[in-house]
Chain A
Amino acid sequence: MADLVSWRDAAESEMRALGRELQVPPAGDITAAVRQRLERPAPGHGQSHVLRDSIARRRRGWRAVLVAAAVILALLIATPAGRAVISHVFRFVGIEIRQQPGPVRSPPASAPLPGQRGTSLAQARRQVAFPVLVPAALGKPDEVLVSGGGRVVSLIYRRTPNGTVRLDEFSGHTDRIVFEKFGHVSKLRDVTVHGREGLWIKGPQELVYITPKGRPAFASARLTTGNTLIWGTWRVAVRLEGSLSQATAIAIADSAR
């Protein structure tokens, strides 16, 4: 034990010395670039160029769509109160995800989206401009809701083996819907759905619907249940929410037609 302690002490001081010997290239002068970027109006919600670009690179086929599209769905992933630092912003299938404090502390377990109405699947398909995907793995939904004047279709399954499962679908790339989410960014993981990239978000977050004018609809704020999977085709983006394992969620998503 004694030799372990002395090894550690020696290693600690050796590493501090090493730190001063590490090769670090000279820093570039970024002052002008920073000033130039700050003088331009904040793009959208201030998304990260580094991150957005790296994601766009990985998603070449989507790039034009992503750049051209307005903000459609945004998830704000918040740090706990008191740590009000934006530290992560990026976009995914027209979804903007960031980490920042949320406007709602303890939202109700469920809150309706604006203009939410129950309808049938067939009617919902006539009311919206994007294809409504239904996962074969879940079958016919117990409830179909159309909200925001046809901007969101929600499929609710109440009696799955995993409890209630919810899908929110929207025209991912041309519309301007914004959801805000609050959680922690360490819960995000890249996954593959149908050969396309998807995003797996572990654990509940606060979710808020944002109006076409970009304002949060506070009455819609709620805590999501279980985990969330987000993916999209070029015509429709989907968020799947429920107490599902990652594998189950992906299997459900893969079965969506």
Chain B
Amino acid sequence: MLVARYTLRAHRAAFLLGAGQEADDVVQEAFVKAFRYLPRFRAGEPFAPWLLRIVANETKNLTRSRRRRAALTARLSAAESASSAADLPAEVVLATERRARLVAAVNELPDVLRRAVVCRYFLELSETETAHMLGWPLGSVKSRTSRALNRLRGLLVPGEQDRVSSG
């Protein structure tokens, strides 16, 4: 069954887009819809983008209806979980802090910008794939990704807040 093959990707997308613990529900819903409306699916079109698009929509509806999205967290690396920070090389501590700040900044982005970041960087989709998945024009993918980066720079680089306030 197609479900097993696409579950991981769909689940990861739903989770990272903010479905959190309800990612399984979203994926289940998306599969049911995808199969139920299979007759509308154009022959020859790849299944995954179509499914991911439904997943993105279901997640958006879910986060909108409960008015919150699940925050993202970075995994602890083996080194971090194995020993105390004091035992770690300075570079690892710095990299870990930097990563934590980056995740926190992404969590602070407005919904639309965060969706762009999740698709482009975390799911590593192309601009075209992102446009299809989120149902946005290609131009919006470019401009929102760019605005998201500006916003992140404002959040992460001291003294940048004023320069990027228009973003």
Q: How far apart are the CA atoms of A90 and B25 in the complex, in Å?
A: 15
Contact B24 A30 (CB under 8 A): yes
Which residues of A are found within 8 Å of B8, using beta-carbon distances?
27
> Shortest Cβ distance from A84 into chain B, in angstroms?
5
Which of the candidate stretches A10-18, A109-117, A240-248 sits at the interface with the other chain? A10-18
Within B142-167, the residues touching A (CB, 8 Å) are: 149, 152-153, 157
Given A30-B27, A50-B26, is A15 in contact with B121 using a C-beta cutoff of 8 Å? yes
Q: Write the chain A residue with the least CB distance to B102.
A: A18
Cα–Cα, bound, A89→B61 (Å): 9
Contact A21 B74 (CB under 8 A): yes
Contact B75 A27 (CB under 8 A): no
- The answer, yes or no, to whether A38 is at the interface (CB within 8 Å) is yes
Mostly, the B contact residues are: helix
B57 near A30 with CB under 8 A, answer: no
In the complex, whether A174 has a CB less than 8 A from a CB of chain B is no
The answer to whether B73 has its CB under 8 Å from any CB of chain A is yes
Minimum CB–CB distance from B79 to chain A (whole Å) comes to 12
The reply to whether the CB of B33 lies closer than 8 angstroms to some CB of chain A is: yes
Known: A18-B122, A30-B27, A49-B29. A83 touches B102 (CB 8 A): no
A185: B residues at CB distance < 8 A: 57
A87 within 8 Å of B by Cβ? Answer: yes
Are A24 and B121 within 8 A (Cβ)?
no
Q: How many residues belonging to A are interface residues under a CB distance threshold of 8 Å?
A: 47
How far apart are B44's CB and chain A's nearest CB, in angstroms? 14
For residue A136, CB closer than 8 A to chain B, the reply is no
Q: B75–A30 contact, CB under 8 A?
A: no
Q: Is the CB of A24 within 8 A of B102?
A: no
Residues of chain A within 8 A (CB-CB) of B152 are: 11
1/0 per residue, CB under 8 A from A, across B50-74: the answer is 1001100110011001100000111
In the complex the two chains form, what is the Cα distance from A121 to B6 in whole Å?
Answer: 57
Would you give the 0/1 interface string for A34-55, flagging 1 where the beta carbon is closer than 8 Å to chain B?
A: 1101100010001011110011
Find out whether the CB atom of A83 lies under 8 angstroms from the CB atom of B33.
Answer: no
Closest Cβ neighbor of A28 among chain B residues: B24
Cβ contact within 8 Å between B73 and A30: no
Q: How far is the CB of B13 from chain A (nearest CB, A)?
A: 10
Contact between A27 and B23 (Cβ–Cβ < 8 Å)? yes
Give which listed residue, A11, A19, A37, A42, contacts B153 with CB less than 8 A.
A11
Residues of B close to A51: CB separation below 8 A: 58, 61-62, 65
Most buried by B among A15, A37, A101: A15
Of all A-B residue pairs in the complex, the 3 with the closest CB atoms, nearest first, are: A19-B122, A27-B11, A87-B57
A-side residues, CB < 8 A to B, are 4, 7-8, 11-12, 14-16, 18-19, 21-25, 27-31, 33-35, 37-38, 42, 46, 48-51, 54-55, 58, 79, 83-90, 99-101, 185
With A21-B75, A25-B15 known, 13 other A-B pairs at CB within 8 A are A11-B153, A12-B149, A15-B121, A19-B121, A27-B11, A38-B36, A50-B25, A85-B41, A87-B54, A87-B57, A87-B58, A88-B61, A101-B40
16 A-B residue pairings within 8 Å (CB atoms): A16-B122, A18-B102, A19-B16, A23-B75, A25-B15, A29-B7, A31-B7, A38-B36, A42-B36, A46-B33, A48-B61, A50-B26, A51-B58, A86-B33, A86-B54, A185-B57
